[in-house]
Amino acid sequence: MKLYNTLTRKKEEFVPLEPGKVKMYVCGPTVYNYIHIGNARPYVVFDTVRRYLEYKGYDVTYIQNFTDVDDKIIKKANEEHSTMSKIANRYITEAFTDADGLNVKRATHHPRVTEEMDGIIDMIQTLIDKGYAYVHDGTVYYDTKKFKDYGKLSKKKLDELIEGASERVELDEAKKNPTDFVLWKPFKPGEPKWQSPWGEGRPGWHIECSVMAKKYLGDTIDIHCGGEDLIFPHHENEIAQSEAATGKQFSKYWLHNAYIMVDNVKMSKSLGNFFTVREIAAEFPYDVIRFFILNGHYRSPLNFSRELLQASQNGLDRIKNCNSDLLHYIENSTGNITDSENEMKAETEKYVKQFENAMDDDFNTADAITAIYELVKSINKNIKDGKMSKEFAELEMKTLTDLTECLGINKEKEAIKDSDKSEIEALIAQRTEAKKNKDFAKADAIRDKLSQMGITIKDTRQGVQWFRS
């Protein structure tokens, strides 16, 4: 299995630090609003990476944090005459609602910054003690010139960054270098605060993830993930902090997803093309949103539009229809695998191999979905031929289930309540009786009534099949 490592800018064979185990850290959202479609991409992409690693037999420890102390959260709390804690708790709950809708598995741990202050203060003190950080009037800065590898992830040169920063931003007289960043900031009225050796205050953004990754995964981790907008400065600064503090490589592999564009323009609140997942889910089901995200390679920009979401819904319906037809076939068939079906198994295994080859090549979910479509096409043909044994049909179902679950794809149609099911089945029985009596007008009228109820029926060799349209 090969993955593209942002650190080396090339695909590399994945070799975990410990055989059979993978330690993953994914930067989570800052919780002051509903997650937007841009947030949803790393949620879905790296959940799928985790699922595939587990499919391959790895024991994955998966950490995704919540940043619950931040200028934006404080601003939101002040606007609503609330508290930072209440705002963060509300939007963590909402983030979980959207993540559950997107079928994102819960992380092994979801640490929150406000619960990690002791570790944050300890790491900052370590950096001061080792000469990588300095204090000025209650603010602690990281000295970027002290870390010789600064810029190795983003491929930026420190001297050029310093020169560029001097031209771009107002100089902070307290900083030794314009590129130095804040590890701890002093308390301001109206803001939350914690006690530290440098006075009351709160942490800078970058130190938080270094501390949480170390606490839950150790000094060195296998895979660190996030959006490409985090490469610099956030992930660059994480490396500088972590490796200076521990003297060890922070992460062996770095994975970054590309942006989501909206009608070929980068999403931005100022442009009015900013959409939350909740807003989109009011028009398209969550499972369609996930399927849409997986239809593009994670390192390529993904264009968001309602037309593309509709195309994704049509594609997902192909899989759901196949699953429904196959389930109906299994319920109405008998028999064990025949000799000829044993030979047909090679066809199914070919699609599994096609799927795995795609995922082994830097998690190419777009090509993996193509393999699922090929499997669906083959299953549909076998159903139409009507010659599958029950045992072979069950084998086909297991394969379809394994591959869709690996991507977190929902292949089930919307469930129907038992009370509705009884009414539908009674109408289908009346239609069957009408057809038997050659009362085709009545049979057609019942079909029309079912259609108005949102129910599609199909006459198959195995009997009448029905499902919600």
pTM over cut 0.85: yes
CA–CA dist 41, 302 (Å, integer): 9
> Could you give the angle at which helices 339-360 and 390-407 cross, rounded to 10 degrees?
10
- How far, CA to CA in Å, does 256 sit from each of 17, 25, 49, 311? 20, 12, 12, 26
The pLDDT score that the predictor gives to residue 429 is 82
CA–CA dist 46, 44 (Å, integer): 6
CA–CA dist 183, 60 (Å, integer): 30
The pLDDT score that the predictor gives to residue 168 is 47
CA–CA dist 316, 296 (Å, integer): 14
CB-CB contact of 105 with 51 (8 Å): yes
Which domains are assigned to the chain? 2-257 (3.40.50.620), 307-407 (1.20.120.640), 418-468 (no CATH)
Q: What is the pLDDT along the chain (469 residues), one digit of tens a residue?
A: 999 999 999 999 999 999 999 999 999 999 999 999 999 999 999 999 999 999 999 999 999 999 999 999 999 999 999 999 999 999 999 999 999 999 999 999 999 999 999 999 999 999 999 999 999 999 999 999 999 999 999 999 998 887 766 554 456 789 999 999 999 999 999 899 999 999 999 999 999 999 999 999 999 999 999 999 999 999 999 999 999 999 999 999 999 999 999 878 887 777 778 899 999 999 999 999 999 999 999 999 999 999 999 999 999 999 999 999 999 999 999 999 999 999 899 999 999 999 999 999 999 999 999 999 999 999 999 999 998 999 999 999 999 999 999 999 999 987 666 567 778 778 888 888 888 888 888 888 888 888 877 788 877 776 777 766 6
CA–CA dist 389, 172 (Å, integer): 75
CA–CA dist 141, 162 (Å, integer): 15
CB-CB contact of 133 with 183 (8 Å): yes
CB-CB contact of 69 with 76 (8 Å): no
Six token digits for residue 427 = 């109408």
Determine which helix (DSSP H) or strand (DSSP E) holds 181, and give its type and residue range: strand 181-186
| DSSP E strands, 6-156 | 10-13, 21-26, 59-64, 133-136, 139-142
The pLDDT score that the predictor gives to residue 453 is 77
Q: Beta 139-142 vs 133-136: how paired, if at all? A: antiparallel
The pLDDT score that the predictor gives to residue 433 is 82
The pLDDT score that the predictor gives to residue 452 is 79
> Residue 118, Cα to own-chain centre: how many angstroms?
30
The pLDDT score that the predictor gives to residue 438 is 87
Six token digits for residue 100 = 């559950």
CA–CA dist 74, 82 (Å, integer): 9
- Of the candidates 306, 264, 303, 263, the one whose C-alpha atom is nearest the C-alpha of residue 282 is 306
Determine which helix (DSSP H) or strand (DSSP E) holds 303, and give its type and residue range: strand 302-304
- Of the candidates 112, 449, 6, 39, the one whose C-alpha atom is nearest the C-alpha of residue 276 is 39
CB-CB contact of 2 with 14 (8 Å): yes
b/e map 8-19, b = 16+ CB within 10 Å: eeeeeebebeee
CA–CA dist 385, 462 (Å, integer): 11
CA–CA dist 424, 431 (Å, integer): 11
